[in-house]
A = this chain, B = another copy of it.
Amino acid sequence: MTRPQLVREGTTVDDMLRVVSDEIVAGHWPPGTKLDAQGLAERFAVSRTPVREMFGHLTAMGLTERRPNRGVIVATISEEGLDHLFEAMAELEAACVGLCTQRMSDAQKQQLVLAHERSAKLASEGSTEDYEAFNLEFHNLLYAGSHNPYLQELAIATRARLRPFRRAQFFLESRPARSHEEHERIVAAILASDVDAATTAARKHLMKVRDSSQTVVESQRHRHRPS
């Protein structure tokens, strides 16, 4: 009957977790959507038990919310909560960038500069999708440059938690160019080993990202009130 595969390629739960969390982060389901445990079980050809375990992971990540005896929904957020998330993200990036200025290796600096220079073309050519990809890579380099795996983990987790509420980060035509300028300040400060300038630039950059992001918050959805 149930013979999906004889050999375990990874752990079943982790595979599902990766797929579903990516879909949530990518905005496949809007915040507030109820996750159908049985449907997911059928989709992945497993029973509801591992699905429930996955729900635990998702909730611990902050991507979903558990309501006792009422199932699991994609995490919602208020306008105020979203500001707090952005602020925390800014502080985490500032911390990473501050450490970058102190201990980034020459190779890492070179890699950062190269990525930044490549993005210059994308910013001027206006391919927002490609710029988004480079933007992700750029910030990953900043996290890695902190040489602190735990801080890196926090930054990536927070970015993932933030992402479901953002829509079309670069919906403004001028945004990639502005983003590139802000990155420029961060890179310059890191190369100059100026901690204060780097952290300040990182914080300002994130605040600009926040201001220029279309977001999806709870008040925008027209569902039942949060009890």
Give me the interface of A with B, judged by CB distance under 8 Å.
8, 11, 13, 49, 52-53, 56-57, 60-61, 68, 81, 84-85, 87-88, 91-92, 94-95, 98-99, 148-151, 154, 158
Contacts and interface: CB of A to CB of B under 8 A. Distances in A.
Q: Which of A13, A61, A87, A91 has the most CB of B within 10 A?
A: A91
B149 A81 contact: yes
Number of copies of chain A assembled together: 2
A11 B68 contact: yes
Contacts of A88: 95, 148, 150-151, 154
Nearest to A95: B91
15 contacts: A8-B68, A49-B49, A53-B53, A56-B56, A56-B57, A57-B60, A60-B61, A81-B149, A84-B148, A88-B151, A91-B91, A91-B95, A91-B151, A95-B95, A154-B154
A150 B83 CA distance: 10
A169 to B, nearest CB: 20
Contacts of A95: 88, 91-92, 94-95
Contacts of A98: 91
Interface of A is mostly: helix
Q: Which of A85, A95, A158 has the most CB of B within 10 A?
A: A95
Contact of A53 (B56, B68, B81, B148): B56
Contact of A150 (B49, B56, B81): B81
A52 to B, nearest CB: 6
Contact of A60 (B60, B150, B158): B60
Contacts of A158: 150, 154
Given A49-B49, A60-B60, A87-B99, 6 more contacts: A81-B150, A84-B151, A87-B151, A91-B91, A91-B95, A150-B158
